[in-house]
Protein backbone atom coordinates (compact mmCIF):
# COMPACT_ATOMS: atom_id res chain seq x y z
CA UNK A 1 0.00 0.00 0.00
CA UNK A 2 1.24 3.50 -0.89
CA UNK A 3 2.34 5.67 2.03
CA UNK A 4 0.52 8.93 1.26
CA UNK A 5 2.36 10.80 3.96
CA UNK A 6 5.59 10.27 1.99
CA UNK A 7 3.93 11.34 -1.24
CA UNK A 8 2.56 14.89 -0.86
CA UNK A 9 1.08 14.84 -4.35
CA UNK A 10 -1.14 11.87 -3.51
CA UNK A 11 -1.77 12.70 0.15
CA UNK A 12 -5.41 13.48 1.05
CA UNK A 13 -6.15 17.21 1.00
CA UNK A 14 -8.75 19.05 3.07
CA UNK A 15 -10.54 22.15 1.82
CA UNK A 16 -11.73 25.21 3.75
CA UNK A 17 -14.99 23.44 4.62
CA UNK A 18 -13.14 20.38 6.04
CA UNK A 19 -14.09 18.16 3.12
CA UNK A 20 -11.27 15.68 2.40
CA UNK A 21 -10.28 15.02 -1.23
CA UNK A 22 -8.07 12.19 -2.45
CA UNK A 23 -5.94 13.22 -5.48
CA UNK A 24 -5.29 10.45 -7.99
CA UNK A 25 -3.83 10.90 -11.48
CA UNK A 26 -2.30 14.04 -12.92
CA UNK A 27 -4.72 15.26 -15.57
CA UNK A 28 -3.08 18.33 -17.08
CA UNK A 29 -0.17 20.66 -16.52
CA UNK A 30 -0.04 24.21 -17.89
CA UNK A 31 1.59 27.55 -17.50
CA UNK A 32 -0.22 28.32 -14.23
CA UNK A 33 -0.39 24.99 -12.44
CA UNK A 34 -1.24 21.32 -12.40
CA UNK A 35 -4.63 19.57 -12.25
CA UNK A 36 -5.30 16.23 -10.54
CA UNK A 37 -8.30 13.98 -10.68
CA UNK A 38 -9.75 12.97 -7.33
CA UNK A 39 -11.52 9.90 -6.03
CA UNK A 40 -14.74 11.83 -6.68
CA UNK A 41 -15.21 11.55 -10.45
CA UNK A 42 -16.86 14.98 -10.67
CA UNK A 43 -14.21 16.94 -8.78
CA UNK A 44 -10.61 17.90 -9.52
CA UNK A 45 -7.88 19.78 -7.70
CA UNK A 46 -5.81 22.58 -9.22
CA UNK A 47 -2.55 23.61 -7.56
CA UNK A 48 -0.46 26.61 -8.65
CA UNK A 49 3.17 26.12 -9.62
CA UNK A 50 6.05 28.57 -9.51
CA UNK A 51 8.70 29.10 -12.19
CA UNK A 52 10.52 25.97 -10.96
CA UNK A 53 7.42 23.75 -11.25
CA UNK A 54 7.12 23.57 -7.47
CA UNK A 55 4.01 24.36 -5.44
CA UNK A 56 3.64 28.14 -5.34
CA UNK A 57 3.20 28.79 -1.63
CA UNK A 58 3.09 32.52 -2.27
CA UNK A 59 -0.16 32.35 -4.24
CA UNK A 60 -2.91 34.38 -2.60
CA UNK A 61 -5.83 32.31 -3.82
CA UNK A 62 -8.40 33.57 -1.34
CA UNK A 63 -8.33 37.15 -2.63
CA UNK A 64 -8.14 35.97 -6.21
CA UNK A 65 -11.23 33.78 -5.91
CA UNK A 66 -13.15 36.48 -4.09
CA UNK A 67 -12.47 38.66 -7.13
CA UNK A 68 -13.62 35.91 -9.54
CA UNK A 69 -16.94 35.52 -7.74
CA UNK A 70 -17.66 39.21 -8.31
CA UNK A 71 -17.16 38.99 -12.09
CA UNK A 72 -20.21 39.05 -14.42
CA UNK A 73 -19.68 35.48 -15.59
CA UNK A 74 -22.45 34.46 -18.05
CA UNK A 75 -25.05 32.07 -16.67
CA UNK A 76 -24.71 28.36 -17.40
CA UNK A 77 -21.36 28.83 -19.13
CA UNK A 78 -19.25 25.64 -19.09
CA UNK A 79 -16.27 27.07 -17.20
CA UNK A 80 -15.10 25.18 -14.13
CA UNK A 81 -15.11 27.76 -11.36
CA UNK A 82 -13.42 27.31 -7.96
CA UNK A 83 -15.65 25.58 -5.38
CA UNK A 84 -13.38 25.69 -2.34
CA UNK A 85 -9.82 26.58 -1.39
CA UNK A 86 -7.52 23.93 0.03
CA UNK A 87 -6.85 24.41 3.72
CA UNK A 88 -3.23 23.31 4.17
CA UNK A 89 -1.72 23.62 0.70
CA UNK A 90 -2.06 26.14 -2.13
CA UNK A 91 -4.78 25.08 -4.50
CA UNK A 92 -8.52 24.76 -4.94
CA UNK A 93 -11.27 22.28 -5.70
CA UNK A 94 -13.22 22.62 -8.94
CA UNK A 95 -15.95 20.78 -10.77
CA UNK A 96 -14.93 18.44 -13.56
CA UNK A 97 -17.43 16.23 -15.35
CA UNK A 98 -16.75 12.52 -15.15
CA UNK A 99 -14.79 11.15 -18.10
CA UNK A 100 -13.64 14.49 -19.49
CA UNK A 101 -10.13 14.69 -20.92
CA UNK A 102 -7.93 17.60 -22.02
CA UNK A 103 -7.50 18.61 -25.64
CA UNK A 104 -3.90 17.36 -25.33
CA UNK A 105 -5.27 13.84 -25.91
CA UNK A 106 -5.82 14.82 -29.55
CA UNK A 107 -2.04 14.85 -29.97
CA UNK A 108 0.10 11.73 -29.94
CA UNK A 109 2.04 11.67 -26.70
CA UNK A 110 4.97 9.42 -25.92
CA UNK A 111 2.94 6.91 -23.92
CA UNK A 112 0.35 6.42 -26.66
CA UNK A 113 3.02 6.28 -29.34
CA UNK A 114 4.86 3.57 -27.43
CA UNK A 115 1.64 1.59 -27.07
CA UNK A 116 0.98 1.81 -30.81
CA UNK A 117 4.48 0.58 -31.57
CA UNK A 118 4.22 -2.27 -29.09
CA UNK A 119 1.02 -3.46 -30.73
CA UNK A 120 3.24 -4.17 -33.74
CA UNK A 121 0.21 -4.06 -36.01
CA UNK A 122 0.67 -3.37 -39.69
CA UNK A 123 -0.24 0.11 -40.80
CA UNK A 124 -3.42 0.48 -42.86
CA UNK A 125 -2.82 0.41 -46.59
CA UNK A 126 -3.48 4.12 -46.99
CA UNK A 127 -0.62 4.90 -44.59
CA UNK A 128 2.00 2.52 -45.99
CA UNK A 129 3.35 5.10 -48.45
CA UNK A 130 4.34 7.48 -45.66
CA UNK A 131 8.17 7.57 -45.63
CA UNK A 132 8.22 8.54 -41.95
CA UNK A 133 6.83 5.83 -39.65
CA UNK A 134 6.48 8.27 -36.74
CA UNK A 135 4.42 10.63 -38.90
CA UNK A 136 2.24 7.74 -40.04
CA UNK A 137 1.58 6.91 -36.38
CA UNK A 138 0.56 10.52 -35.72
CA UNK A 139 -1.94 10.37 -38.58
CA UNK A 140 -3.22 6.99 -37.38
CA UNK A 141 -3.79 8.52 -33.93
CA UNK A 142 -5.44 11.53 -35.62
CA UNK A 143 -7.98 9.21 -37.26
CA UNK A 144 -8.50 7.20 -34.07
CA UNK A 145 -9.33 10.34 -32.07
CA UNK A 146 -12.09 11.53 -34.38
CA UNK A 147 -10.03 13.03 -37.19
CA UNK A 148 -10.76 16.58 -38.35
CA UNK A 149 -14.49 16.50 -37.61
CA UNK A 150 -14.11 15.81 -33.89
CA UNK A 151 -11.43 18.49 -33.61
CA UNK A 152 -13.60 21.02 -35.40
CA UNK A 153 -16.48 20.17 -33.06
CA UNK A 154 -14.33 20.58 -29.95
CA UNK A 155 -12.79 23.82 -31.17
CA UNK A 156 -16.17 25.27 -32.15
CA UNK A 157 -17.56 24.64 -28.67
CA UNK A 158 -14.42 26.11 -27.07
CA UNK A 159 -14.61 29.20 -29.31
CA UNK A 160 -18.25 29.74 -28.33
CA UNK A 161 -17.31 29.69 -24.64
CA UNK A 162 -14.56 32.25 -25.19
CA UNK A 163 -16.88 34.41 -27.29
CA UNK A 164 -19.41 34.47 -24.42
CA UNK A 165 -16.70 35.47 -21.94
CA UNK A 166 -15.44 38.22 -24.24
CA UNK A 167 -18.97 39.54 -24.78
CA UNK A 168 -19.16 40.03 -21.01
CA UNK A 169 -15.94 42.06 -21.09
CA UNK A 170 -13.88 39.23 -19.61
CA UNK A 171 -10.49 37.80 -20.55
CA UNK A 172 -9.81 34.09 -20.07
CA UNK A 173 -6.05 34.53 -20.03
CA UNK A 174 -4.50 31.10 -20.60
CA UNK A 175 -5.99 29.36 -23.62
CA UNK A 176 -4.22 26.05 -24.27
CA UNK A 177 -4.98 22.35 -24.82
CA UNK A 178 -4.25 21.79 -21.12
CA UNK A 179 -7.16 24.00 -20.08
CA UNK A 180 -9.84 22.88 -22.54
CA UNK A 181 -11.61 19.58 -21.81
CA UNK A 182 -13.96 17.40 -23.83
CA UNK A 183 -16.31 14.69 -22.66
CA UNK A 184 -17.41 11.46 -24.30
CA UNK A 185 -20.35 10.41 -26.44
CA UNK A 186 -21.70 11.47 -29.81
CA UNK A 187 -22.20 15.12 -28.79
CA UNK A 188 -19.70 15.67 -25.97
CA UNK A 189 -19.58 18.69 -23.73
CA UNK A 190 -16.60 21.02 -23.78
CA UNK A 191 -15.46 22.88 -20.67
CA UNK A 192 -12.71 25.32 -19.79
CA UNK A 193 -10.86 24.89 -16.51
CA UNK A 194 -8.24 27.08 -14.78
CA UNK A 195 -10.64 29.98 -14.23
CA UNK A 196 -8.32 31.72 -11.76
CA UNK A 197 -7.03 33.95 -14.57
CA UNK A 198 -10.47 35.36 -15.43
CA UNK A 199 -10.52 39.16 -15.28
CA UNK A 200 -11.80 42.29 -16.93
CA UNK A 201 -9.82 43.61 -19.85
CA UNK A 202 -7.58 46.41 -18.58
CA UNK A 203 -6.82 49.56 -20.51
CA UNK A 204 -3.17 49.23 -19.48
CA UNK A 205 -1.06 47.03 -17.24
CA UNK A 206 -2.59 43.99 -15.64
CA UNK A 207 -1.58 40.38 -15.34
CA UNK A 208 0.08 38.07 -17.81
CA UNK A 209 -0.65 34.35 -18.01
CA UNK A 210 0.08 32.00 -20.87
CA UNK A 211 1.21 28.49 -21.67
CA UNK A 212 4.55 28.27 -23.52
CA UNK A 213 4.18 28.15 -27.33
CA UNK A 214 0.65 29.65 -27.15
CA UNK A 215 1.33 33.16 -25.91
CA UNK A 216 0.64 36.14 -28.18
CA UNK A 217 3.76 38.07 -29.24
CA UNK A 218 2.94 41.06 -27.02
CA UNK A 219 2.46 38.72 -24.04
CA UNK A 220 5.70 36.81 -24.58
CA UNK A 221 7.61 40.07 -25.08
CA UNK A 222 5.87 41.59 -22.03
CA UNK A 223 4.75 44.67 -23.93
CA UNK A 224 1.04 44.30 -23.08
CA UNK A 225 -1.36 42.54 -20.74
CA UNK A 226 -3.80 39.68 -21.38
CA UNK A 227 -6.75 40.83 -23.47
CA UNK A 228 -9.46 39.22 -25.62
CA UNK A 229 -7.16 39.58 -28.63
CA UNK A 230 -4.42 37.61 -26.83
CA UNK A 231 -7.01 34.91 -26.15
CA UNK A 232 -7.79 34.95 -29.89
CA UNK A 233 -4.11 34.42 -30.73
CA UNK A 234 -3.66 31.52 -28.31
CA UNK A 235 -6.86 29.90 -29.54
CA UNK A 236 -5.78 30.20 -33.19
CA UNK A 237 -2.41 28.59 -32.38
CA UNK A 238 -4.21 25.74 -30.61
CA UNK A 239 -6.67 25.30 -33.48
CA UNK A 240 -3.99 25.28 -36.20
CA UNK A 241 -1.85 22.82 -34.27
CA UNK A 242 -4.77 20.50 -33.54
CA UNK A 243 -6.06 20.50 -37.11
CA UNK A 244 -2.84 20.54 -39.16
CA UNK A 245 -0.50 18.81 -36.66
CA UNK A 246 2.13 21.54 -36.94
CA UNK A 247 2.82 24.76 -35.04
CA UNK A 248 1.94 27.81 -37.18
CA UNK A 249 5.39 29.38 -36.74
CA UNK A 250 7.82 26.45 -36.83
CA UNK A 251 8.93 26.69 -40.47
CA UNK A 252 12.14 26.70 -42.44
CA UNK A 253 13.62 29.62 -40.50
CA UNK A 254 13.76 27.24 -37.54
CA UNK A 255 14.24 23.89 -39.25
CA UNK A 256 16.53 25.03 -42.09
CA UNK A 257 18.41 28.12 -40.87
CA UNK A 258 20.67 29.76 -43.44
CA UNK A 259 23.54 30.21 -40.98
CA UNK A 260 24.69 29.07 -37.57
CA UNK A 261 23.20 31.97 -35.67
CA UNK A 262 20.54 31.34 -33.08
CA UNK A 263 22.33 28.61 -31.15
CA UNK A 264 22.08 28.06 -27.43
CA UNK A 265 25.49 29.70 -26.87
CA UNK A 266 24.73 32.95 -28.73
CA UNK A 267 24.68 36.24 -26.89
CA UNK A 268 21.18 37.67 -26.20
CA UNK A 269 20.11 40.51 -28.48
CA UNK A 270 19.97 44.05 -27.16
CA UNK A 271 16.20 44.29 -27.65
CA UNK A 272 15.50 41.15 -25.61
CA UNK A 273 14.89 38.91 -28.63
CA UNK A 274 15.17 35.25 -27.57
CA UNK A 275 18.43 33.56 -28.51
CA UNK A 276 17.08 30.25 -29.78
CA UNK A 277 15.30 30.20 -33.14
CA UNK A 278 12.31 28.17 -31.96
CA UNK A 279 11.72 30.61 -29.10
CA UNK A 280 11.83 33.47 -31.61
CA UNK A 281 9.21 31.64 -33.66
CA UNK A 282 6.93 31.10 -30.65
CA UNK A 283 7.28 34.81 -29.80
CA UNK A 284 6.08 35.85 -33.27
CA UNK A 285 9.37 37.16 -34.65
CA UNK A 286 9.01 35.01 -37.79
CA UNK A 287 6.18 34.97 -40.37
CA UNK A 288 3.32 32.47 -40.33
CA UNK A 289 4.33 29.26 -42.13
CA UNK A 290 1.41 29.76 -44.57
CA UNK A 291 1.83 33.54 -44.84
CA UNK A 292 0.47 34.69 -48.20
CA UNK A 293 2.80 37.72 -48.29
CA UNK A 294 6.06 36.25 -46.97
CA UNK A 295 7.30 32.72 -47.63
CA UNK A 296 10.60 33.10 -45.75
CA UNK A 297 9.32 30.78 -43.01
CA UNK A 298 7.17 28.51 -45.17
CA UNK A 299 6.63 24.85 -44.31
CA UNK A 300 4.95 21.91 -46.00
CA UNK A 301 4.89 19.93 -42.75
CA UNK A 302 1.62 18.81 -41.28
CA UNK A 303 -1.60 17.84 -42.98
CA UNK A 304 -2.59 19.77 -46.13
CA UNK A 305 -4.47 22.83 -44.96
CA UNK A 306 -7.22 22.46 -47.58
CA UNK A 307 -8.09 19.06 -46.09
CA UNK A 308 -8.46 20.27 -42.51
CA UNK A 309 -9.73 23.85 -42.83
CA UNK A 310 -12.35 25.43 -45.04
CA UNK A 311 -11.46 28.55 -47.08
CA UNK A 312 -13.20 30.65 -44.42
CA UNK A 313 -11.09 29.13 -41.64
CA UNK A 314 -7.91 29.60 -43.67
CA UNK A 315 -8.79 33.28 -44.01
CA UNK A 316 -9.17 33.53 -40.24
CA UNK A 317 -5.74 31.96 -39.77
CA UNK A 318 -4.26 34.42 -42.27
CA UNK A 319 -5.86 37.41 -40.56
CA UNK A 320 -4.64 36.28 -37.13
CA UNK A 321 -1.10 35.19 -37.98
CA UNK A 322 -0.34 37.55 -40.87
CA UNK A 323 -1.67 41.04 -40.19
CA UNK A 324 -2.54 40.15 -36.59
CA UNK A 325 1.00 39.14 -35.74
CA UNK A 326 2.24 42.74 -35.80
CA UNK A 327 -1.11 44.47 -35.36
CA UNK A 328 -3.10 42.70 -32.62
CA UNK A 329 -6.24 44.77 -33.20
CA UNK A 330 -6.61 43.09 -36.62
CA UNK A 331 -7.12 39.61 -35.19
CA UNK A 332 -10.63 38.24 -35.82
CA UNK A 333 -12.85 38.04 -32.74
CA UNK A 334 -13.82 34.69 -31.24
CA UNK A 335 -17.34 35.05 -32.66
CA UNK A 336 -16.01 34.45 -36.18
CA UNK A 337 -14.09 31.37 -35.07
CA UNK A 338 -17.14 29.87 -33.34
CA UNK A 339 -19.27 30.42 -36.44
CA UNK A 340 -16.84 29.07 -39.04
CA UNK A 341 -15.64 26.11 -36.98
CA UNK A 342 -19.24 24.99 -36.45
CA UNK A 343 -19.95 25.44 -40.18
CA UNK A 344 -16.86 23.41 -41.11
CA UNK A 345 -17.78 20.65 -38.66
CA UNK A 346 -21.29 20.42 -40.10
CA UNK A 347 -19.86 19.94 -43.61
CA UNK A 348 -17.48 17.17 -42.54
CA UNK A 349 -18.03 13.52 -43.35
CA UNK A 350 -16.12 10.59 -41.85
CA UNK A 351 -14.77 7.97 -44.26
CA UNK A 352 -15.91 4.46 -43.36
CA UNK A 353 -12.74 2.95 -44.83
CA UNK A 354 -9.97 4.91 -43.09
CA UNK A 355 -11.71 6.93 -40.36
CA UNK A 356 -10.44 10.27 -41.63
CA UNK A 357 -12.98 13.00 -42.22
CA UNK A 358 -13.17 15.51 -45.06
CA UNK A 359 -15.47 18.20 -46.43
CA UNK A 360 -18.14 16.31 -48.30
CA UNK A 361 -19.06 19.14 -50.68
CA UNK A 362 -15.44 19.65 -51.82
CA UNK A 363 -14.28 16.09 -52.55
CA UNK A 364 -16.04 13.39 -54.63
CA UNK A 365 -14.16 10.69 -52.69
CA UNK A 366 -12.03 10.43 -49.56
CA UNK A 367 -8.83 12.42 -50.26
CA UNK A 368 -6.84 10.22 -47.88
CA UNK A 369 -7.59 6.65 -48.99
CA UNK A 370 -9.60 7.19 -52.19
CA UNK A 371 -12.68 5.32 -50.98
CA UNK A 372 -16.04 6.41 -52.35
CA UNK A 373 -18.29 8.61 -50.26
CA UNK A 374 -20.52 6.72 -47.85
CA UNK A 375 -24.18 7.63 -48.36
CA UNK A 376 -25.20 10.82 -46.59
CA UNK A 377 -27.96 13.38 -46.48
CA UNK A 378 -27.53 17.12 -46.63
CA UNK A 379 -30.09 19.08 -44.61
CA UNK A 380 -30.24 22.67 -45.79
CA UNK A 381 -32.03 25.93 -45.03
CA UNK A 382 -31.43 29.48 -46.16
CA UNK A 383 -29.20 29.97 -43.09
CA UNK A 384 -27.15 26.78 -42.84
CA UNK A 385 -26.46 23.29 -44.11
CA UNK A 386 -25.40 20.14 -42.31
CA UNK A 387 -24.18 16.72 -43.47
CA UNK A 388 -25.74 13.65 -41.80
CA UNK A 389 -24.30 10.14 -42.33
CA UNK A 390 -26.36 7.28 -43.68
CA UNK A 391 -26.12 5.52 -40.33
CA UNK A 392 -28.32 8.22 -38.82
CA UNK A 393 -31.99 7.20 -38.77
CA UNK A 394 -33.45 9.56 -36.18
CA UNK A 395 -31.62 12.88 -35.85
CA UNK A 396 -31.96 16.12 -33.94
CA UNK A 397 -31.70 19.17 -36.21
CA UNK A 398 -29.84 21.92 -34.35
CA UNK A 399 -30.92 25.47 -33.57
CA UNK A 400 -28.31 26.99 -35.94
CA UNK A 401 -30.00 25.37 -38.94
CA UNK A 402 -33.09 27.55 -38.50
CA UNK A 403 -32.19 30.58 -36.39
CA UNK A 404 -29.40 33.17 -36.14
CA UNK A 405 -26.21 31.64 -34.76
CA UNK A 406 -26.16 31.61 -30.96
CA UNK A 407 -23.06 30.96 -28.86
CA UNK A 408 -25.18 29.41 -26.12
CA UNK A 409 -27.97 27.66 -28.02
CA UNK A 410 -26.59 26.78 -31.46
CA UNK A 411 -26.42 23.05 -30.54
CA UNK A 412 -29.88 22.90 -28.96
CA UNK A 413 -32.24 20.59 -30.90
CA UNK A 414 -34.89 22.59 -32.75
CA UNK A 415 -36.56 19.75 -34.70
CA UNK A 416 -36.30 15.98 -34.83
CA UNK A 417 -36.38 13.98 -38.04
CA UNK A 418 -36.65 10.36 -39.13
CA UNK A 419 -34.46 9.65 -42.18
CA UNK A 420 -35.30 6.81 -44.55
CA UNK A 421 -32.52 6.27 -47.08
CA UNK A 422 -34.46 3.55 -48.93
CA UNK A 423 -37.25 5.96 -49.86
CA UNK A 424 -35.14 9.14 -49.66
CA UNK A 425 -37.59 10.79 -47.31
CA UNK A 426 -37.32 12.75 -44.09
CA UNK A 427 -40.30 13.17 -41.78
CA UNK A 428 -40.78 14.83 -38.40
CA UNK A 429 -40.62 12.54 -35.42
CA UNK A 430 -44.17 11.58 -34.43
CA UNK A 431 -45.72 14.22 -32.23
CA UNK A 432 -43.35 17.03 -33.22
CA UNK A 433 -44.05 20.09 -35.32
CA UNK A 434 -43.83 20.15 -39.11
CA UNK A 435 -40.61 21.28 -40.76
CA UNK A 436 -40.20 24.88 -41.96
CA UNK A 437 -40.88 25.40 -45.65
CA UNK A 438 -37.28 26.24 -46.53
CA UNK A 439 -35.83 23.01 -45.07
CA UNK A 440 -34.70 20.56 -47.76
CA UNK A 441 -33.02 17.13 -47.62
CA UNK A 442 -30.67 15.99 -50.36
CA UNK A 443 -29.90 12.26 -50.23
CA UNK A 444 -26.51 11.48 -51.75
CA UNK A 445 -25.41 7.95 -52.66
CA UNK A 446 -28.52 6.37 -51.20
Domains of the chain: residue spans and CATH: 4-98 (3.30.200.20), 102-344 (1.10.510.10), 375-444 (no CATH)
CA 114, CA 372: separation in Å to the nearest integer? 33
Interval 370-394 mean pLDDT: 92
| Among 278, 250, 251, 252, CA closest to 264 | 278
Cα four-point dihedral sign 23, 26, 27, 30: positive
Confidence check: pLDDT of 5 > 50 = no
Interval 175-179 mean pLDDT: 93
Q: Are 242 and 102 in contact (CB under 8 A)?
A: no
Q: What is the DSSP letter of 368?
A: T
pLDDT the model gives residue 41 = 86
Q: Which residue has the higher pLDDT, 170 or 34?
A: 170
Mean pLDDT, the chain, whole residue set: 88
Who contacts 188 (Cβ-Cβ below 8 Å, separation ≥6)? 153, 154, 182
> Residue 321 in 3-state DSSP?
helix
Whole-model pTM: value is: 0.91
Provide the percentage of residues in the chain whose pLDDT is more than 90: 61
Amino acid sequence: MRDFEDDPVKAPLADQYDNVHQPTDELARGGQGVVYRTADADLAIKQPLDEHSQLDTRANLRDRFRHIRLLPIPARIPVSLPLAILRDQPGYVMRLLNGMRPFTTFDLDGKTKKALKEQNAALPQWLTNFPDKDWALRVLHYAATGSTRQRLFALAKCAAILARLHSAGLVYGDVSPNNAFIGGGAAPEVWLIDADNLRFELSSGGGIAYTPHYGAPEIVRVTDASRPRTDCWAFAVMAFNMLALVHPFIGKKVEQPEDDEGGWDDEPAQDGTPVELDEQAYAGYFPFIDDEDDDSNASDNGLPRALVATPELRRLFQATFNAGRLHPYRRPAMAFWALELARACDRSLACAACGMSHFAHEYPACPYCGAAHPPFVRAKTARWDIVLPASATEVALPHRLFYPFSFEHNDDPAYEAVLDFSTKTATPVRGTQAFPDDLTFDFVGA
